[in-house]
Amino acid sequence: MKAIVQDVYGSADVLRLAEVDRPAPGDDEVLVRVHAAGVDAGVWHLMTGLPRLLRLAYGLRRPRRRIPGMDLAGRVEAVGRNVTRFRPGDEVYGIGRGTFAEYACAPERKLAPKPANLTFEQAAAVPASGLTALQALRDQGRVRSGQQALVIGAAGGVGTYTVQLARAFGAEVTGVCSTGKTELVRSIGADHVVDYTREDITDGTRRYDLILDIAGNRSLSRLRRILTPTGTLVLVGGDGGPWLGGTDRLLRAQLLSVVVRQRLRVLVSAERHEDLLVLTGLIEAGRVTPVVDRTYPLAEAPDAIRRLAARQARGKVVVTVPRQ
């Protein structure tokens, strides 16, 4: 099969299209004929090996997994002997491994039937980012109807889902983004939009019950300044140095949360079939719609990652795989 591969860590220049063996599913796995694969920050981190702390788990000198990609949407090609939810021909979406390829394997527990009202390209934009947004709001943020919610990074892959889900849960949403993305954030339902290049959202003039900081770099002290006395701050990733990334800020938040009234939480996303079904219900009800920025054919996957890394994307970038 054709797949994008990498043999060393580095920029998108290390990626190349190659012929590789088709994977075989394990007993609890599904082999999917991939029609589309989402591009998210996790793909960039694993491609570059940054922060270097990641290499302890994914390979010290070179990536253990040669094929990048996690999000997928496609049709079931074969199933392992313990799989009961799916059979060949089913349309599915979810989280797999090595999804920048014509075929990829995924655990049964990380897949769900594709939403009926989405194309494969739209469906591939959902899993990683949609699950992150759902769990940040519902599980860590404990969002409630009537709350004032602030989403920092509202125009990105996770942010576009966070804005829509917060509205679906009944919150009044303020989205923070750059100048060129304000109309997008307004169009997906944000009640208020702040252009961070023109206004400092942390100046203390307004306070929020819930703040979702997506891959941000603002200090905890500035974020706490605009949080209500018993409000909740959820950190979803973060920028930082080449060794620890934003890990030090996440650890400080957890330690500080022990001694202050405000709830400071760090998201560790889980890839669950049950939560994919929650997203499917919201999508099929028209309450959440994937925002696909641009699609790239498989051979141009490096360009898709370059667009993500340059922070040019509005919503999700998707890689498409030619259908046989």
Does the pLDDT at position 243 exceed 70? no
pTM above 0.75, yes or no: yes
pLDDT band at residue 95, thresholds of 50, 70 and 90?
A: very high
Question: Using one digit for the tens of pLDDT, what is the confidence trace for 278-319?
Answer: 999 999 999 999 999 999 999 999 999 999 999 899 999 999
Q: Which amino acid is at 170?
A: G
Question: Using one digit for the tens of pLDDT, what is the confidence trace for 174-214?
Answer: 999 999 999 999 999 999 999 999 999 999 899 999 999 99
**Residue range 159-172: mean pLDDT, rounded:** 98
Does the pLDDT at position 252 exceed 90? no
Separation between Cα atoms, residue 279 and residue 231, nearest integer Å: 26
Residue 61: count of CB within 10 angstroms of its CB: 8
Separation between Cα atoms, residue 294 and residue 313, nearest integer Å: 8
Radius of gyration over every alpha carbon of the chain, rounded to an integer in angstroms: 19
Q: 42 in helix, strand or coil? A: helix
Does the pLDDT at position 39 exceed 90? yes
**Burial of 109 from C-beta contacts in 10 A (0-12 / 13-18 / 19+):** middle
Helices 41-48 and 301-309 sit at what angle, rounded to 10 degrees?
Answer: 100
Separation between Cα atoms, residue 25 and residue 21, nearest integer Å: 13
In terms of pLDDT, which residue wins out, 197 or 51? 197
Instruction: State in Å, rounded, how far the first CA of the chain is from the last one.
Output: 11
**Which residues, listed in sequence order, are joined to residue 43 by a DSSP beta bridge?**
none
What pLDDT does 90 receive?
A: 98
What pLDDT does 53 receive?
A: 84
73 closest CA partner among 14, 26, 128, 32: 32
pLDDT band at residue 324, thresholds of 50, 70 and 90?
A: low
Share of the chain above pLDDT 90, in %: 85
Residue 60: count of CB within 10 angstroms of its CB: 11
Question: pLDDT averaged over the chain?
Answer: 94
Separation between Cα atoms, residue 104 and residue 308, nearest integer Å: 22
Is the bond preceding residue 113 a cis peptide, omega within 30 degrees? no
What pLDDT does 274 receive?
A: 98
Question: Using one digit for the tens of pLDDT, what is the confidence trace for 124-164?
Answer: 999 999 999 999 999 999 999 999 999 999 999 999 999 99
Separation between Cα atoms, residue 130 and residue 233, nearest integer Å: 19
**Residue range 112-119: mean pLDDT, rounded:** 98
What pLDDT does 241 receive?
A: 67
Q: Give the position of tokens 């961070």.
A: 196
**Residue range 61-87: mean pLDDT, rounded:** 97
pLDDT band at residue 322, thresholds of 50, 70 and 90?
A: confident
DSSP codes, 109-148? GGEEEPPTTS-HHHHHTSHHHHHHHHHIIIIIS---TT-E
What pLDDT does 157 receive?
A: 96
